[in-house]
Amino acid sequence: MQTPRDPSMEDILASIKRVIAEEKELRAAVPPAVREPDEEDVLELDHPVEAEVPPVELGEPLLDTDAADSSRSSLEQLSTVAAAAPPPPTVNPLEEMLRDMLRPALKQWLDEHLPRIVDEHVRREISRITGKPL
């Protein structure tokens, strides 16, 4: 009998993204509140209601035009440089070299100590679960 495989992290994230996208589609398609109107709630209009939005007084701009233009120019320059920059290396050469150097020492330490550490923790957990010292 074949057991179903556990979903990978990518499968779970894809599922979550799909659910969020479906939720957004549903919210866009369905009005926010749907209920049966009472006779008192019905309002019939012969002409559409046009709400006038009063103009909002924003006052003086917070930023001088020259300062805004200068900032915009600097940000555009940064955007251009960032778009043209090569992607960072996937592996840091120093980290890779250290990893290769430490691997034998780590393997030796794990070979010597890991079985004892695991055995102690398993015994302690069995003792905790059963209530009997081992």
Rounded mean pLDDT of 116-122? 92
Distance (Å, whole) CA 115 – CA 123 = 12
Rounded mean pLDDT of 67-80? 88
- DSSP code of 132? -
The pLDDT value recorded for residue 2 is 45
The pLDDT value recorded for residue 36 is 60
Q: What angle do CA 6, 10, 14 make, to 5 degrees?
A: 105
Which carries the bigger pLDDT value, residue 69 or residue 34? Answer: 69
Is it the case that residue 51 has pLDDT exceeding 60?
A: yes
Distance (Å, whole) CA 101 – CA 87 = 27
The pLDDT value recorded for residue 33 is 55
Distance (Å, whole) CA 128 – CA 121 = 10
The pLDDT tens digits of the residues spanning 88-105 come to 778 888 988 999 999 999
The pLDDT value recorded for residue 32 is 54
